[in-house]
Amino acid sequence: MCGICGYVSQKEIDIEEMNSTITHRGPDNQNYLKNKNLALGHTRLSILDLSDDSNQPMVSKNGRYIIVYNGEIYNFLDLKKELKYLGVVFNKESDTEIILEGFGYWGVKIFEKLNGMFAFSIYDKKLNKLYITRDRFGVKPLYYYHNGEDLIFGSEIKAIIASKVIKKELNYQGLYEYLHFATTLGENTFYKGIKKLEAGEYITYDIEKHKLKIDRYKSNHDITQTKDSFEEAVSKTKRVFENAVKRQLIADVPVGIFLSGGIDSTAITAYATKHYKGKIKTFSAGFDFNNGDNELDNAKYIADFYNTEHNEMHIKGEDIINILEDVNYYFDQPFGDAANIPLYLMSKELKGKEKVILQGDGGDELFAGYHRYIRLYHYDSYKAVSKLFPLFKKVIPKSSSKYKGLRFLFALYQKDPSKEMAYILSQEMFDEDPADYLNESTKSRLKEVNPFQRYQYFYEKFKKLDPVNRALYTDINIILPDLYFEKVDRATMANSLEIRVPFLDNELAQYAMSLPADYKIKGKDKKYILKKAFEDVVPKKILYGPKKGFGVPFQHWLRTSMKDFMLKNIRESELYNKKIETLMQEHISKKKDNGYILWKLLNLVLWLKNTEMSI
């Protein structure tokens, strides 16, 4: 895993400085290539072919193509065999060379052939064109800036900022999305002009004409439902999952597993121990801020069951304020999902000790692992009850715990059905608009943009599907790339740790998306087909035991250890007003839980302070 950056510009830009901002992504080697008005930079975390031969930028044997690449291609050995058959000769052992020489043979058609997580750029000297692409599920990040004359890109926004080309201006679309969903969505970032390349897309940049074109090589939109029977689907799910885990064990350094004690990480452990050469390491963490409620006992049971080299990490969060400051730096933007903190702490614990970890992200979104999917499976019943939402809102006091439960009914009560999923996933209360807590000037700017546009776009794509698959496909296209993988990449790569996600293997994900809702949910049983597929592999204690959720107690921190920090930073910021003061006092006195909006506001304030930007 690595970091990449580069530019095409007539301006004087320091590619070394750009590269230096992302050395945490690749501490093993840093290098760059500069040629007239083009430069490509790379920081390397050595995983495959540890020799200097695989350092980057890498030039093709014929000298025509140059690549900088971040990621892992799990089917690179299959592609190598195919290319050898076609007459291509190789002299390295890395997947980078496969992409480079494969591009020379297939051109952009190679993008769809790649099974892995990646973001890379290839320069074609002959055509004087630059190609930039990103994997189909958005596991690896890629940002770019184009103003008609300059094209600048990087694995992280800080590399683009370091070019000193852009004027830092706030993107209000990104701000409003963050206030609702704790992150920006789709191509949007907090910076006006800096965009995310979306999952499955690629840029073709004609350097001579300064012309940028974006195409999609693979979408997660058009999936044909399988005709396999349930029994056939169980068998195939088991087979393709095993193949996915086996593929992702390829590395020239040791591979470990984050073992949470749940179904997904247990299944990964089961097949990893079967196919890994040697004794695989597993890692589980207990935190001093989870009130002793963790899955360490389950994880130890699983580790003993599969005979792994198990490691328990007992992590203290005593310095949460400094940790939050660190995380704010590495994420480049405000990020409101507090789960990034334990992940960052776990990764920091392993920094310099491990390089590759497998974990179970994606299993819930592919196989219906959240409670909301069960509700949506009974959509018609809940939809009928939602008609009574106005009555419930009147008769249930705001102080009642049942009042929060009305949020789901509020979502289904929407006249615009495209907003249903957006409101289901927004954790703010239904009777509040987060924009209302900002000053009138900012509020009026936010009212000019639509924070729900990404959800409306995908509703149109999936409106003919049943409610469960509509939600699953939406989550795969929004929640995974924009929230979860953003969290995973920044928190782990900040500590030079590569995370692999077997559930997002192309073959497995493609098949999972083709399965009907009836295969994934039965009654109140989530991940039904997955449980059936693993019945003879995973202990029933894990398959059918209660799922323990892990909540980060940021609400508690804001009342206790972080109270003074929150009050000081928010009161000294330009955001501060009487409404926000009321929010803080209500929360501190436990009159009302305003933790989620306050956490987002605090992260926003820290970002504004660190970037010296204004709203």
3 state DSSP class of 116: strand
Helix (H) or strand (E) holding 223: none
Alpha helices in 252-400 (DSSP H): 263-275, 296-306, 320-331, 340-350, 363-367, 371-377, 379-386, 389-395
Which pLDDT belongs to residue 398? 74
Determine the Cα–Cα distance for residues 19 and 43; give it in Å rounded to an integer. Answer: 7
Give yes or no for residue 290 having a pLDDT over 70.
Answer: no
Which pLDDT belongs to residue 511? 97
Beta bridge partners of 255: 356
DSSP 164: T
Q: Band of the pLDDT at 293, cuts 50, 70, 90? A: low
Q: Band of the pLDDT at 9, cuts 50, 70, 90? A: very high
- Mean pLDDT along residues 83-95: 91
Q: Band of the pLDDT at 50, cuts 50, 70, 90? A: confident
Q: Quick one: tokens of 418?
A: 């495209």
Which pLDDT belongs to residue 297? 86
Determine the Cα–Cα distance for residues 195 and 134; give it in Å rounded to an integer. Answer: 13
Q: In percent, how much of the chain has pLDDT > 90? A: 83
Q: What are phi and psi of 513, to 5 degrees?
A: -70, -20
Q: Quick one: tokens of 575?
A: 């955001």
Which pLDDT belongs to residue 548? 66
- Mean pLDDT along residues 468-493: 96
Count of positions (residues) in the chain? 615
Q: In percent, how much of the chain has pLDDT > 70? A: 98
- Mean pLDDT along residues 40-61: 92
Beta carbons within 10 angstroms of residue 281's beta carbon:
21
- State yes or no: cis peptide before 57, omega within 30 of 0: yes
Give yes or no for residue 399 having a pLDDT over 90.
Answer: no
The CA distances from residue 594 to 51, 405, 582, 586, in Å, are 52, 16, 10, 7
Give yes or no for residue 203 having a pLDDT over 90.
Answer: yes
Asked if residue 448 lies in contact with residue 428, where contact means CB atoms within 8 angstroms, the answer is: no
Which pLDDT belongs to residue 332? 97
In the Cβ-directed half-sphere of 176, how many Cα atoms lie within 13 Å?
19
Which pLDDT belongs to residue 56? 95
Using one digit for the tens of pLDDT, what is the confidence trace for 514-569?
999 999 999 889 999 999 999 999 999 999 887 766 678 899 999 999 999 999 99
Give yes or no for residue 428 having a pLDDT over 80.
Answer: no
The CA distances from residue 274 to 248, 254, 308, 403, in Å, are 13, 15, 11, 48
Which pLDDT belongs to residue 557? 93
Give yes or no for residue 114 having a pLDDT over 80.
Answer: yes
Domains of the chain listed by start with CATH number? 2-216 (3.60.20.10), 230-367+480-543 (3.40.50.620), 553-615 (no CATH)
Q: CB under 8 Å to 469, separation ≥6 — which residues?
A: 462, 516, 517
Which pLDDT belongs to residue 291? 65
| Least reliable range by pLDDT among 276-290, 291-305, 338-352, 600-614 | 291-305
- Mean pLDDT along residues 240-252: 96
- For residues 72 and 403, the model is more confident at 72
pTM for this structure? 0.95
Give yes or no for residue 488 having a pLDDT over 70.
Answer: yes
Which pLDDT belongs to residue 78? 96
Which pLDDT belongs to residue 132? 98
Mean pLDDT of the chain: 93
Determine the Cα–Cα distance for residues 130 and 143; give it in Å rounded to an integer. Answer: 15
Which pLDDT belongs to residue 91? 85
Asked if residue 294 lies in contact with residue 282, where contact means CB atoms within 8 angstroms, the answer is: no
Which pLDDT belongs to residue 406? 86
Torsion of CA 331, 501, 345, 609, to 10 degrees: 10
Q: Band of the pLDDT at 201, cuts 50, 70, 90? A: very high
Q: Band of the pLDDT at 220, cuts 50, 70, 90? A: confident
Give yes or no for residue 425 having a pLDDT over 80.
Answer: no
Residue type, 287: F
Give yes or no for residue 169 having a pLDDT over 80.
Answer: yes
**495 burial via Cβ count (<10 Å: 0-12, 13-18, 19+):** buried
